[in-house]
Structure 1
Amino acid sequence: MNKQQIKLIIGIVGLVTILNACGIPKVTSRDANREVPEQFVNGNQDSTNIADIIWKDYFHDKYLIALIDTALLYNQELNITLQEINVYNNEILARKGEYLPFVDIGAGGGVEKVGRYTSQGANDANTEIAPGKETPDPLGDVFVGAFATWEIDIWRKLRNSRDAAVNRYLATVEGKNFMVTNLVAEVASSYYELLALDSQLKLLQEYIKIQNNALKTVKIQKEAGESTELAVKRFEAEVLKTQAKQFDIKQQIVETENKINFLLGRYPQHIERSEQSFEAPITDSLMYGVPSQLLENRPDIKAAELEITASKLDVKVAKAKFYPSLDITAGVGMQAFNPAYFIKAPESMLYNLAGDLMAPVINRKAIKAEFLSANAEQLQAVYDYEKTVLTAYIEVYNQLSNIDNLNQSYSLKNQEVTVLNQSIVYANGLFTSAKADYMEVLITQRDALDARFELIEYKLMQFNAMIHLYQALGGGWK
């Protein structure tokens, strides 16, 4: 190939490239807004953050720590995600292989018999392969060789595709981390729910004793003529109502235990737990840092950012399909009608080298549609990132407000319980001395029981608020 031919080919490539580039739709893109408020509440600028604490140090209950450890090993949903990570890792290998040459080694053989009185048959019959020896009839054909095909990645189409796969792999890893955060929070929340149900059951059993004592008193009063059968029946009904409520709570305990067992990937069994954990005071230390730390600590935000990078690369890959592609094919090997002639090189040697330059010119709608879709998905990834950041900020903000309001509610509810417990003592004393009606005793007992139930629920909500704050800040996956 002389210089003029090379210049002609280069000119054709350049012309085709320019013509194709003129028909590429315009890219509509925008950068993601990564700005967040400077603080959450009260002008806090302290960067100390509970999200930096590993979950084994954040939770202090040994039973809870053992449950979370088991969940991280055997939770089926988490293990499914781990296999998805392997799938994306294999996708990287596939994309990486596409921009390297494909080399195949092959061998084959056959036999061919043509008519003697044909041009090929007549020529074969008159051909001497050695003095006095003609071409054999029928004629065999045996070959062995290596063949290669290679698409030259002129426009980085294949390498960008590989880089997009790498970013999606990393996004999947971050997705797994986000799942770990949620799993840790869910196990912890269910564990404290179980402790709350234990406390409610214990409380019911205490009140059943109190109500039975009141029932004995009213029976004695009836025998003494100081009360009526109606009062006895009302007290009996109240005892039965409280006893029946026990079984509702017992069923909730079974279901909550099995919820935890499901998260741990195992069949129903008893959950070991510690009563003291629920009775412990809630910490007032809220080290929630500053909003900018969410961008580093929240795996879902990091996954969304990686998805933006991958989608931008997808646009470049789709754009490169408008440009010419250059494919090179080559082969080298040995071919003869008898393997014994393989050693007679170069007569038995075969080789080829070819290059193909292909570019879409007419009917490029499919390529255009793919490009426009990639562009739309890139914008979608940007909006998804911004939505994820906004969601994370609001989640933290809501939990901080929730913790503050729950502390106030719990304090007032605790005072209410104290007052109602005193009221039970007064009501029983007044009823015994016939200075109070039995309904006053029943109502006071019922109000006190309801208030103590609500106090337990408030404490559970406080534990959950602390767990969900830790989760919202991005803690639990490290």
Structure 2
Amino acid sequence: MNKSKFKSWYLLSLLIILFLNSCVPTQKAIREENKEVPQQYKNQSSDTVSSASVQWKDFFKDPKLVALIDTALANNQELNIMLQQITRANNEITVKKGEYLPFVNIYAGAEVEKVGEYTRNGAVEHNLNVREDEEFPEPLTDFSVGLSASWELDVWKKLRNGKKAAVLEYLSTIEGKNFMVTNLVSEIASSYYELQALDNQLEIIEQNLDIQQNALKMIRLQKEAARATQLAVRRFEAEVYKNQSNKFKVQQSIVETENKINFLVGRFPQTIERDSDEFIGTPIDTIYTGIPSQLLANRPDIRQAEYELEASKLNVSIARANFYPSVGIKAGVGLQAFKTKYLTSTPESLLYSLVGDVVSPLINRNAIKAEYKNANSRQLQAVFEYEKAILNGYIEVANELSNISNLKESYRLKEEQVNALNESIELSIKLFKSARAEYTEVLFTQREALDSKIEIIETKRDQLLANVKLYQALGGGWNTSM
């Protein structure tokens, strides 16, 4: 081929490539992620001190609770499953990195072939002497050994972007693990406080049963003295039966809560060690919220969504690069002969090759366009996921701040209610003994006192749970090295 023809083919190939590239669709406008958050939480200062920086071992003061969480972080099955996912994501980085490096293979082969004599190859071989007094071998053997290499030139950075996306996915899985840790820590602490509350409820029911059974004895004596009716006796008996039934319900709740903790810890059912005697007196620590913008750095779910968003942007670039032609190089060098003794005879047995090619999609471009559109949609979806994570984090903190404030006032009022009803029980019994009050007043007072005591235990539990949830919402509980 002369130079003029070569130039013509070169120009034609260049024009075809330019034409194909002109058909690449323009990327749609992508919604920019919104990182704007309010400057501070409602009715909170703009102090940047945040309890999220406190390690969970320092945040929780109960050593038995700390021991449970420590065991769960080592044995929880779901967390260990996530750790394997992190390992897989890390291996994927190595896979993607290897794709834009040359592939070099070593090969060795042996072959035997017999062709028909009355064929072109057979007729030639039959009359061919390799050397003087040495006929062409029949059947023909073939031995080879050598190296082969192939390399796709990453002209459009498709392969490098794939590796970067794999790194971001790996970082995303780490943040997913951190988010799982915060949830695990929060769930165990919440269940532990729930268990302590149930213990106290059971104790209150047993104390109330003693009071009611004493009242039942009294009303029976009153009936024998003709100062009360059988109706009063039966009403008091019904109240005792009711609380005895509630006692079994609470006992079942204790078993289920213990088993929930055992499941989270990764072990078969056993008794959970806890200190429930001082539950009501457990202090409610002050939690510092910092400023809303700190959520972007502290909450693992927000950082996970951010990494997913960055990966989706790279995937759009990868999908766009599929429209461009790929440039590849293939090379090989080795030795080949029909007898092994000739393999080392060089340069006669030496073989080598070098091939360069350019491949561009032509017919099946609709599939590539569809994947490109999907990549754009996934990026837009990742933007919304990121915005949702930020909004959800802010609202969770705002809700728990309000909850803590309202529970504090509710607990103060319930304390006064319990004190008043405890005095009312004694007064109602005294008045009933002196025939100055009806038996129904005694019943209602005892019932209200029991309800109020259980409610104050539940309120105390809710206060502790609200603190745990706020700590979690701020992004605390996952990092032991802050």
What is the TM-score when the length of structure 1 is the normalising length?
A: 0.96
| Residue matched to 1:326 | 327
Q: What's the counterpart of residue 159 of structure 1? A: 160
Following superposition of structure 1 onto structure 2, how do residues 330-409 of structure 1 map, counting pairs within 5 Å? 330-409=331-410
Taking a change above 3 Å as real, the CA distance of residues 398 and 166 of structure 1, as seen in their structure-2 partners, is same
Q: Secondary structure at the match of 2:112?
A: strand
Runs of 5+ unmatched residues, structure 1 = none
Residues of 1 paired with 2:326 and 2:15: CA distance? Answer: 14
The Cα offsets for residues 319-355 of structure 1, whole Å up to 9 and x where unpaired, read as: 1111110111111111111010011101011111101
**3-state SS in 1 of match to 2:233:** helix
Alignment check: 8 A CA contact 2:397 2:470 kept: yes
User: What displacement does 1:213 show?
Assistant: 1.5
Q: Does residue 1:22 correspond to 2:29, yes or no?
A: no
Q: 1:123 aligns to what?
A: 124
Deviates more, 1:193-202 or 1:261-270: 261-270
Cα distance between partner residues in 1 of 2:282 and 2:271:
26
Secondary structure at the aligned position of 2:343 is classed as helix
* Equivalent in the alignment of 2:307: 306
Superposed, 1:105-254 pairs within 5 Å as 105-254=106-255
The aligned amino acid for 2:368 is I
Cα distance in 2 for residues equivalent to 1:365 and 1:415: 74
Aligned to 1:36: 37
Report what 1:425 is aligned to.
Answer: 426
CA offsets per residue over residues 375-405 of structure 1, 9 Å max, x none?
1111111111001100000000000001001
Name the CA shift for 1:5/1:402 in 2 (closer, same or farther; >3 Å): farther
Residue 263 in 1 paired to residue 264 in 2?
A: yes
The 1:5/1:41 distance shift into structure 2, 3 A limit, reads farther
Q: Determine helix, strand or coil for the equivalent of 1:105.
A: strand
Q: Is this contact kept in 2: 1:61–1:277, CA < 8 A?
A: no
Instruction: Decide whether the 8 Å contact of 1:109 with 1:142 is kept in 2.
Output: yes
What is the CA-CA distance between 1:446 and the residue it aligns to?
A: 0.3
* Alpha carbons of structure 1 residues 134 and 284: separation in structure 2 relative to 1, 3 Å: closer
Cα drift, residue 246 of structure 1: 0.6
Q: Which amino acid in the other structure matches residue 332 of structure 2?
A: G
The two structures, once aligned, show a CA RMSD in angstroms of 1.9
Structure 2 counterpart of 1:15, which letter? L
Partner residue of 2:442? 441
Provide the rounded CA distance (Å) in 2 between the counterparts of 1:12 and 1:35: 52
Distance 1:111 1:362, change over 3 A: closer
> How far apart are 1:228 and its partner, in Å?
2.4
Residues 104-159 of structure 1: CA deviation (Å, up to 9, x unaligned) = 22211122223334443343244333332222222211111111111111100011
Deviation at residue 368 of structure 1 after TM alignment: 0.6
The farther-off stretch of 155-164 and 273-282 is: 273-282
Structure 2 CA distance for partners of 1:43 and 1:190, relative to 1, 3 Å: closer
Q: Which stretch of the first structure deviates more once superposed, 272-281 or 79-88?
A: 272-281
Cα–Cα, structure 1 residues 270 and 323, in superposed 2: closer, same or farther, change >3 Å?
A: same
Q: Distance in 1 between matches of 2:50 and 2:14?
A: 57
**Aligned match of 2:283:** 282
CA positional deviation for 1:227:
2.2
For residue 468 of structure 1, what is the aligned residue in structure 2? Answer: 469
Confirm or deny: 8 A CA contact 1:157 1:320 kept in the other structure. Answer: yes
In structure 2, stretches of 5+ residues that fail to align are none
* Secondary structure of the structure 2 residue equivalent to 1:333: strand
In structure 2, the CA distance between the partners of 1:150 and 1:412, relative to structure 1 (3 Å rule), is: same
CA-to-partner distance for each residue in 1:431-455, whole Å, 9 max, x for gaps? Answer: 1111111110010000110111111
Q: Letter of the 1:443 partner, please give it.
A: F
Change (3 A) 1:3 1:382: farther
**In the aligned structure 2, how far is the partner of 1:2 from the partner of 1:399?**
81
Tell me the CA shift for residue 474 of structure 1. 0.5
Whole-Å separation in 2 of the counterparts to 1:59 and 1:403? 17
How far apart, CA to CA, are the structure 1 residues paired with 2:208 and 2:70? Answer: 37
Within 2, Cα distance between the matches of 1:13 and 1:422? 99
Paired residue total: 478
Gap change, CA 1:409 and 1:267, over 3 Å in 2: same
